[in-house]
């Protein structure tokens, strides 16, 4: 089979216009931005950096996913050129609208396709994973072997920075496949010569996410009661999607994150039970919480997943709830100068439309 990597520009901005916009932006910011402005504002209001440095190209794997789309939108306000790695499919890629993006079509296990996708790329954000597919996902092919291949190709191509998203609790000895896969992928990256940054994140939430949105659907779909794995006492540290996108963006200019594995999460450690209650409150509905044996829930989930029932959860989602997924509350403020958002303040997007 002949590997294919087609690179297509999906949007276009005329370079003279971009230069003029950058010049005006830089002048505006020099006049009006206070000298003590926080780091966040410096990043957001300096697209004029293009005047001072050569435009760099970024490859984002998983760019059509929940986190990938949010990150791609954030780069709209910078001078970086974005290339999205798109898995071959008959469907049109769901890329963010209004963002200039090149599309490189290749699977992660296609060596020649990956090398072509990395042509002239300076920075890689590796967000692709099979975990959203649940029991039908192939963690070995994408999360492990795909990461290994991408790392090797990135070294050959002279990539300057390599970012990888992992999970709190990643461990090669874990009983949970997704945590094992993430840890093995981390190991491939750490053994490389790349200037990497590995971020182990708490569960990430936001509009159209894979946590609060399906959880809200499940709460609404089950009448009268809602089952919790065991007692629902597992502690989580939800991280707002916009905070994560900022962290991923700011890490580019933070040398302290080079060749580091950093654990990050939101500003609070919340039990799964309390998360469910908070979502119920936003939805304006009540359910009696009942405790069910985790293996029973797991069996039902795997069975439904295999026969392709449209349920808003999967086996890896349950694996994440199997044990506490927390980290230091001070890492994000200290390392990234960011006060992350509180869960209850950011889930209004779940409120039913009136």
pLDDT digits (tens, 9 = 90+) for 283-305: 999 999 999 876 667 666 666 66
Task: Tell me the CA distances in angstroms from 129 to 44, 56, 119, 295, 322, one per residue in order.
Answer: 28, 25, 22, 25, 20
As a whole number, mean pLDDT of residues 146-167 equals 98
Mean pLDDT, the chain, whole residue set: 83
Position 135 pLDDT exceeds 60: no
Q: What percent of the chain has pLDDT over 90?
A: 61
Give the pTM.
0.82
pLDDT of residue 5: 56
Residue partners of 332: CB distance under 8 A and separation at least 6: 243, 247, 264, 265, 267, 338, 339, 340
- Whole-angstrom distance, CA of residue 185 vs CA of residue 140: 10
Higher pLDDT among residues 133 and 6, named by residue: 133
Q: Where are the domains of the chain?
A: 6-204+239-266+325-342
Q: Are 325 and 203 in contact (CB under 8 A)?
A: yes
pLDDT band at 308 (very low <50, low <70, confident <90, very high): low
pLDDT band at 52 (very low <50, low <70, confident <90, very high): very low
User: Cα–chain-centroid distance for residue 207?
Assistant: 13
Pick the range with the lowest mean pLDDT from 28-42, 52-66, 138-152, 170-184. Answer: 28-42
pLDDT of residue 33: 33
Position 51 pLDDT exceeds 50: no
As a whole number, mean pLDDT of residues 318-337 equals 93
At 307, phi and psi to the nearest 5?
-95, 10
pLDDT of residue 313: 58
Of the options 1.20.140.10, 3.30.420.40, 3.50.30.30, 3.40.50.720, the CATH number for the domain spanning 6-204+239-266+325-342:
3.40.50.720
Q: What percent of the chain has pLDDT over 70?
A: 76
pLDDT of residue 91: 76
Among 41, 58, 52, residue whose Cα is nearest residue 250: 41
């Amino acid at each position: 089979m002949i590997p294919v990597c087609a690179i297509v520009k999906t949007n276009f901005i005329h370079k003279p216009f971009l230069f003029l916009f950058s010049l005006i932006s830089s002048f505006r910011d020099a006049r009006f931005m206070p000298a003590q402005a926080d780091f966040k504002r410096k990043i957001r209001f300096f697209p004029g950096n293009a005047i001072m440095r050569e435009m760099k190209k970024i490859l984002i794997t998983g760019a059509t996913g929940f986190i990938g789309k949010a990150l791609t939108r954030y780069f709209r306000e910078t001078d970086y050129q974005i290339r999205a790695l798109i898995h071959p499919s008959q469907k049109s890629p769901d890329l963010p609208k209004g963002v200039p993006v090149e599309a490189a079509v290749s699977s992660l296990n296609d060596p020649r396709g990956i090398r072509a996708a990395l042509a002239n790329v300076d920075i890689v954000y590796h967000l692709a994973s099979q975990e959203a597919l649940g029991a039908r996902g192939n963690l070995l092919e994408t999360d492990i072997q795909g990461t290994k291949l991408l790392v090797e190709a990135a070294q050959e191509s002279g990539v300057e920075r390599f970012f990888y998203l992992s999970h709190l609790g990643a461990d090669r000895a874990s009983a949970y496949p997704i945590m094992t896969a993430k840890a093995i992928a981390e190991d491939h990256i750490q053994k490389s010569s790349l200037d990497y940054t590995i971020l182990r994140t708490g569960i990430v939430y936001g509009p159209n996410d894979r946590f609060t949105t399906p959880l809200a659907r499940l709460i609404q779909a089950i009448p009268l009661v809602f089952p919790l794995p065991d007692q629902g006492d597992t502690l989580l540290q939800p991280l707002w999607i916009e905070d994560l996108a900022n962290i991923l963006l700011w890490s580019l200019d933070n040398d302290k994150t080079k060749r580091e594995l950093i654990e990050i999460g939101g500003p609070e450690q919340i039990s799964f039970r309390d998360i469910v209650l908070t979502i119920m409150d936003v939805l304006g509905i009540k359910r009696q919480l009942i405790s069910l044996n985790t293996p029973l829930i797991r069996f039902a989930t795997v069975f439904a997943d295999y026969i392709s029932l449209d349920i808003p959860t999967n086996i890896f989602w349950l694996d994440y709830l199997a044990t506490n997924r927390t980290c230091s509350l001070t890492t994000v403020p200290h390392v990234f100068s960011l006060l992350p958002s509180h869960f209850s303040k950011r889930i209004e997007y779940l409120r039913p439309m009136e």
